[in-house]
Structure 1
Amino acid sequence: AGGGVVLARAKKSVQELFDSTENPDIKIGVKVVLKALDTPIRQIVENAGLDGAVVVDKILHNDDDAFGYDALNDTYTDMFKVGIIDPAKVTRSALQNAASIAAILLTTEAALTEKPEEKPQAPMPQMPEY
């Protein structure tokens, strides 16, 4: 299913990982991932003018894995039947890359960045006289 439904449904498995680990560092990372997983669907719903929390709750309480919210038509539907799908490889890769970068940032004691150049503000153009 698409529209962020798969990521939102993945929260259940990630929550099990959170509950089963004792390592506080891992718990912090898993907590961040848990919060991020339903962000795409919440944003889609909020952009459509609805409450993201209500829609996510309704989707997660439905047993059909393909059940989701079609923001264009303002309906709950089978996401596969209406053609709203997220490519699994793209979604998985994005999540893996985000986790990898987060792990690097957590284990890095220092980071190098470029200092932004201070550019003077562009002057106002001359106004023609009439």
Structure 2
Amino acid sequence: MPRSEPPRNRNLDAWYPDDKRETPQREKGKGLDFMPRLFGGDKPSKNSLDIWEKLAAIWPSKIAPILIEQFGLETTLYAILYAGKDPDEIIMEIWDPQHVESKPSQVFKFKGDNKDFPETRSQAEVMSLTNWD
């Protein structure tokens, strides 16, 4: 059974080469150039920046290796972020849209103020992750 996907914002979801980006790229290192779109583009909230910093610290060592093992390199993945059950829990779900049936999504839970995130999975905006590895 295919995973139902929330509505997408195609303008925010578009990927541009570095010289044609609509939003500035934060210098966090390889694999993190998609994060500005996940956390509010040019004007992320302080809460979003705090969570971004937490993710940036663990992305290369804890998240990217799991995604590479599950989905391979140079794959465009989809991601959603939404609030967990606890007031300090955030859930990030990542999947390969080309292999919805054969490869399960990877779900990561981490601590942070979730007030800026949708309360349910169905309310979350789907973003594409390119150049994440």
TM-score by length of 1: 0.28
Higher-RCO chain (CA-CA 8 Å, sequence separation at least 6): 2
Q: Counting strand residues as a fraction of each chain, which structure ranks higher?
A: 2
Q: Which has the higher helix share?
A: 1
> Which has more radius of gyration?
1
Instruction: State the TM-score, normalized to the length of structure 2.
Output: 0.27
